[in-house]
Amino acid sequence: MVFNSLTFGLFFLVVLMVLPWLHLRAANLFLLVASIVFYAAWDWRFLGLLTFSTVLNFFTGAQIHQTEGVVRRRWLAFNVVVNLLVLGFFKYYGFFAENFNSLWASLGGQASLPTLQIVLPLAISFYTFHCLSYAIDIFRRQLVPAERLTDFALYLLLFPHLVAGPIVRAARLLPQIAGARQTTPQDWHSGIFLILWGLCKKSVVADNLAPKADQLFAMQQASAGEVFLGVLAFAFQIYADFSGYTDIARGSARLMGFHFDLNFRFPYFAANPQDFWRRWHISLSEWLRDYLYIPLGGNRHGEARTYVNLLLTMVVGGLWHGAAWNFILWGAYHGVLLSAHRFWLRSRARGCVSHPLLKAMAVLGMFGFTLYGWLLFRAVSFGQIVAFTGAFVDPSSLLAPEVLKGLAKMLIYIFPMLVVEVWMIQRRASELVFGSAIGNGLLYLALIYTTLLLGAQSGETFIYFNF
């Protein structure tokens, strides 16, 4: 049941029609059942795993809150170990076994680990991070655990964020679940806009750029022009796809009385690596900062240790996306960028990029680094990375007529999205809502018309569903 399907539209319409007739406890129970149905529509086989994990995390959270000293730390350790074991088995065992067997065989070993055909439970990465942050926040005395199992289950399973985020902190969402919720006209206007804008970005931009990206990464050799077009297509495909999903999630939640924080803040306008990670997948980058980078020591133990912490944090961030070397390489690449930027800041004056022209050059330069990162992220093999990188030894094809023509076609989809997002930056808003009902109505009609007219008919699945 994907967000860009008629099935979800009908499902969500029923939810919106029923909710106003229910008091808080009944509404929460209804939303929990609806969220379970939403997940079961994907794969009912893992409902037992979700139930077991939900009950276990609710119980251990209560124990962490009620105990002290060594016992309390042991309950936290138990929670973290169990959650990571579940995630590790389903998501990483096959990757580890395959690489261990290859290494062992190269050393002359005979025995090998069994390779299992493990089905990856949908949303397990997001679900696990929600569970871990819940337990750790209780341990840090930053959160009082949920009083009711149903409230905690709804926090974990609420369908707008269940499958692909954003990662919502319990301290932010649990009070909204336990307290009275009301939707204002502003909530309705914002929610409808976010849903329509997300669908437009997904269908018009992401799905129309997908074939160009797929074409490149199905090749083993390509010219510099082909690599540039394909990687550029993927960069805006993954942004429009994931930010579009997040917009739909935030809009859906808003219509039900819940408020999710921003997950994207125009990341391709970032001027440096640190700025990029303050704009891209904000809920993940903040999670990695608060629950990994800072506990590792952050920047409190000297420069060398800080660089190591940055690198380790970003490698884990890459590995979180999937069990593959390209994700590890992508994470390490961004760790190196963050470390290099930090080193540069310490050796140069901070105001040296304050001039508008230099700022624009910094944005373009960072976008170039980001593009190469997406090549690492999407590549199917190390050989493909080497071949595509080596293609730029001869950059003459970048100005070939077919490349310029392809770029012009892509900009038909990319440029209007950028115009709207620049407008949002100027308004300092994450959504466009006008003061009059007529203005909002015309905006909604324009988005619907654009989506129907220019949207791809392929109905591609959202990329981050794979993570």
* Alpha-helical segments (H) within 353-435: 356-378, 382-390, 401-427
Answer whether residue 222 shows pLDDT above 90.
Answer: yes
Count of Cβ atoms closer than 10 Å to residue 368 Cβ: 10
Of 214 and 459, more confident: 214
Task: Please state, in angstroms and rounded to a whole number, the distance separating the CA atoms of residues 366 and 122.
Answer: 33
CB 222 within 8 A of CB 239: no
Q: What is the mean pLDDT of residues 39-64?
A: 93
pTM of the model: 0.92
Give the pair of three-digit tokens for residue 179: 């307290």
Question: What mean pLDDT is predicted for residues 107-127?
Answer: 78
Phi, psi (rounded to 5 degrees) for 148: -115, 140
408-420 confidence digits (pLDDT tens): 999 999 999 988 8
Encode pLDDT of 325-366 as tens digits: 999 999 999 999 999 999 988 877 555 566 788 888 999 999
What mean pLDDT do residues 311-338 have? 96
Q: How confident is the model at residue 108 (pLDDT cuts 50, 70, 90)?
A: confident
Q: How far apart are CA 13 and CA 34, in angstroms?
A: 12
Catalytic residues: 321
Q: What is the pLDDT of residue 104?
A: 77
* pLDDT at residue 272, rounded to an integer: 95
